[in-house]
Amino acid sequence: MTHLDGNVLAGALADIFSVDLTPASARCTGCGAVAQLAEAMVYTNAPGIVARCATCDHVLATVVDAGDRLWLSLTGLSGIELRRA
């Protein structure tokens, strides 16, 4: 299966955050590129969901849903900027 993009993260992240993070801008801790999360490359065929930087392929975020528990890692992202509408 090929990758998707960060739009598909909206559902998994809505279970965790009260605002939609997919239009938020964040800096990749690998290469420093700033992009909206919706623009990340997303792989959903792993046991969880993996979001990678579209510029350098660094892992930005992972979400693993095990039914009664959910693991979230955002270690590849810094300086997340949310716009108030």
Partner 1 sequence: MSADPLTRPDTARRRPAWHVATVAELAPETPTAARLVLDVPTWPGNDAGAHLDVRLTAPDGYQATRSYSIASSGETSRVVLAVDEVPDGEVSPFLVRELRPGDQLELHGPLGAFFVWQPSRDDRPVQLIAGGSGVVPLYAMAASHAAAADPAPFRLLYSVRTPRHVFFADELAALVGPAFDLDLAYTREAPDGRQGDIGRITKDTLAARTIPAARRPQVFVCGPTGFVEAVASWLRALGHAAADIRTERFGGT
Ligand X SMILES: Cc1cc2nc3c(=O)[nH]c(=O)nc-3n(C[C@H](O)[C@H](O)[C@H](O)COP(=O)(O)OP(=O)(O)OC[C@H]3O[C@@H](n4cnc5c(N)ncnc54)[C@H](O)[C@@H]3O)c2cc1C
Binding of ligand X by 25 (CB under 6 A): no
Binding of ligand X by 4 (CB under 6 A): yes
Phi and psi dihedrals of 14, rounded to 5?
-65, -25
Q: In the bound complex, what is the minimum distance in angstroms from residue 4's beta carbon to ligand X?
A: 5
Chosen from ligand X, partner 1, Zn ion, none, partner binding at 66 (C-beta under 5 to 8 Å by type): none
Amino acid at 11: G
Binding of partner 1 by 1 (CB under 8 A): yes
Comparing C-alpha atoms, which of 80, 73, 78, 10 is closest to residue 38? 10
Alpha helices in 2-74 (DSSP H): 9-14
Chosen from Zn ion, ligand X, partner 1, none, partner binding at 31 (C-beta under 5 to 8 Å by type): Zn ion
Contacts of 46 (CB under 8 A, 6+ apart): none
Residues that bind partner 1 (CB under 8 A): 1-8, 10-11, 14, 18, 20, 22-23, 36-39, 85
